[in-house]
Structure 1
């Protein structure tokens, strides 16, 4: 075998592990995106859409500039994604597999695409990333409140107690709207009128 052929073979052997690693990363990321979408697809309108709407209301209230609108809405969409993702992970990790088999048969745990333990692990990781982002955006108080609601509502099963479930909903809506209002940059005192009005309406 010629020297040139040996060099080609050696180069192929060296590149093979990298190719395998890249392929593994591609498959893993693709699968995670698909599972994340399956976790999140059922409640998109209720859990995610209010974020850009309420942040936009805050921006309009203070007459934000174009640059501020772009920056604020970008942060809001990223923040809203983690809010929504952590919520759906906690919801799925609640373990209501029998109920989901009837009402939401497309959920990943029901489809055996993942497990309750894996969903809980994703919840802890997503919550940690969300808290870090919240700290950077200075809305971590509202994120901590929401995570406390999620843990109480789903993992500690407070949702089975009527008044506790209602309280979780009130605190959850408040944390969602107030974080959006602050991300929009308006005065927080003005923002309180919205959740208070909504809770009175309920």
Structure 2
């Protein structure tokens, strides 16, 4: 009898850790399913810019290590809280455009997503308070509300504004987690925010049918797909000149600057060409992802030249 009780006790000891591990792995997988499309343009981009701030200020490796640790969890909650809200309110649209998202695919229930939204929003605010950047966290939550609840996502102008502000609200904390923002830091932050505001319609070509269903007035729907493709591609053709004048020229005509300039220009022109000639939802999604990679490369160039 004693042996049976001992065996049951040992089995319970093994079961509890295995159960906890299972739930932990499931939550990590769910987080990834929620944010995977936006991970490069938010978490990775912000951490890259944090490294640029560290290098620009000649700080110690310890400060970089702890800065990256703080930044990773802050920016993870930054995009997670936004993406869960987006997907809770966009279930019908996702059935058509993004059926692999967790709510639509059945990986998580609607109520389960709501619970995680509340936890992520509260956690984001609390972490922002602990890191001394709660004002940026609260401002992002305000724009998250405006985007989803006040339907700023339904108009291409207000949608672009939210996306541009979103870039501002992850680049500013990225620098402030390391050091006070310098004038050159502000130049990079404001330029990148403006680029996102103006060129974000590149993401709308992949979702035209879904946007029509929810009566969203994106640029392709408002002025026509052909005209909007020409307009947005023209923006990417001009983009290298803007980047060169505002960001690269102040750093001088070194080989590092010229290499960054050239790489960003080639990628920008490749995006412009894809917008015009690669015209189906899958190709348009790849084109948008190329833009997010351009953004990350632009911020990597900040590490090189600052």
TM range, smaller chain = 0.7 to 0.9
- Residue 87 (structure 2) aligns with: 92
**Could you tell me which of 49, 60, 65 is aligned with 2:60?**
65
CA shift in 2, pair 1:194/1:26, >3 Å: same
Distance 1:171 1:186 in 2: 19
Cα contact 1:58–1:186 (8 A) shared by 2: no
Q: Is residue 185 from structure 1 mapped to residue 179 from structure 2 by the alignment?
A: yes
Deviation at 1:155, TM superposition (A): 3.4
TM-score when normalising by structure 1: 0.84
Distance 2:34 2:194 in 1: 32
- Residue 21 (structure 2) aligns with: 26
Cα contact 1:181–1:188 (8 A) shared by 2: no
**Could you tell me which of 179, 189, 207 is aligned with 1:195?**
189
Matched position secondary structure for 1:106:
coil
**Could you tell me which of 114, 119, 128 is aligned with 2:113?**
119
**Could you tell me which of 69, 72, 76 is aligned with 1:77?**
72
- Residue 6 (structure 2) aligns with: 11
TM-score when normalising by structure 2: 0.58
Matched position secondary structure for 1:42:
coil
CA shift in 2, pair 1:73/1:27, >3 Å: closer
Deviation at 1:27, TM superposition (A): 2.8
**Could you tell me which of 153, 163, 169 is aligned with 1:159?**
153
Count of aligned pairs between the two proteins = 196
- Runs (5+) with no aligned partner, structure 1: 1-5
**Could you tell me which of 97, 116, 137 is aligned with 1:103?**
97
Q: Is residue 149 from structure 1 mapped to residue 143 from structure 2 by the alignment?
A: yes
CA shift in 2, pair 1:40/1:200, >3 Å: closer
Higher relative contact order (CA 8 A, sep 6+): 1
**Could you tell me which of 127, 138, 142 is aligned with 2:132?**
138
Matched position secondary structure for 1:144:
helix
- Runs (5+) with no aligned partner, structure 2: 199-306
Distance 2:164 2:69 in 1: 26
CA offsets 1:46-100 (integer angstroms, 9 cap, x no match): 1222111111111112111111111111211221211122122122112x22322
Deviation at 1:165, TM superposition (A): 2.3
